[in-house]
Amino acid sequence: EVQLVESGGGLVQPGGSLRLSCAASGFTFSNYWMTWVRQAPGKGLEWVANINEDGSQKYYVDSVKGRFTISRDNAKNSLFLQMNSLRGEDTAVYYCARTEGETAGNYWGQGTLVTVSS
Amino acid sequence: QSALTQPRSVSGSPGQSVAISCTGTSRDVGGYNYVSWYQQHPGKAPKLMVYDVNKRPSGVPDRFSGSKSGNTASLTISGLQAEDEADYYCCSYAVTYYVFGTGTKVTVL
């Protein structure tokens, strides 16, 4: 059974940093692109970033370029999102998802809440 | 990277059909046959319902169907059931990014 479990969310002040993790199991992690998607409170889904199988290709939504870094550790079946220079508008539930073909997410984690506030 | 346009809400009685539109541009929806649809119940993670415009993952009822014409994709739910009440989001591949729709709340009357 495919499982994705996010962690690392919490309350952080504007300008601060946070590192999200996503632990994957039930599939061969190194064979898949992976994606982060976020959802601000009461708002819609927003694609944030994705990374290819070996970590050599990374893409970001314009609003996080230069502030967020997606990475992965295939030996530990883990996906990460390093978030720096956080802003209020980054407040959201962050989901990790397994990408298959050109579908952003065919399996999703339960999400982790990031709150940026003073 | 502008969000795809969906109607804010649609509604129907049990057994009826509803359709949700998703309008983008030639750079996303119109450029590729890679539109997916997600169902999200309150407080839950999104669930993939349709991918590659009109394909259904295993376990998704055939009441859910997708189509596309030009820059607009559509999700049709036939034989509406109470458990279909949820938010629905379209999503399009665009090579170096993905873009989601604004979301549609489906209400079962």
> For the segment A17-41, what is each residue's pLDDT rounded down to a tens digit?
999 999 999 999 999 999 999 999 9
What percent of chain A is modeled with pLDDT above 70? 100
Task: For residue B26, give the nearest of B74, B86, B92 by alpha carbon.
Answer: B92
What percent of chain A is modeled with pLDDT above 90? 98
Would you say B91 and B38 are in contact if contact means Cβ atoms under 8 Å apart?
Answer: yes
**Token pair listed for A38:** 């976020």
Task: For residue B102, give the nearest of B94, B93, B92 by alpha carbon.
Answer: B92
What percent of chain B is modeled with pLDDT above 90? 97
Task: Using a CB–CB cutoff of 8 Å, tell me whether B3 touches chain A.
Answer: yes
pLDDT tens track for B53-72: 999 999 999 999 999 999 99
The pLDDT value recorded for residue B7 is 98
Residues of B in contact with A70 (CB under 8 A): none
Write the DSSP assignment of B4-23 as a string of letters. BB--SEEEE-TT--EEEEEE
Q: Give the integer Cα–Cα distance in Å for B87 and A87.
A: 27
Would you say A23 and A4 are in contact if contact means Cβ atoms under 8 Å apart?
Answer: yes
B96: nearest CB among A59, A95, A110: A59
3-state secondary structure of A70: strand
Q: Give the integer Cα–Cα distance in Å for B61 and A111.
A: 25
Residues of A in contact with B105 (CB under 8 A): none
Residue of A nearest to B90 (CA): A45
Q: Give the integer Cα–Cα distance in Å for A107 and A100.
A: 9
Q: Give the integer Cα–Cα distance in Å for A104 and A110.
A: 16
Q: Give the integer Cα–Cα distance in Å for A97 and A30.
A: 14
**Token pair listed for A64:** 């996080």
B17 confidence band (pLDDT: 50, 70, 90): very high
The verdict on a CB contact (< 8 Å) between B3 and A101 is no
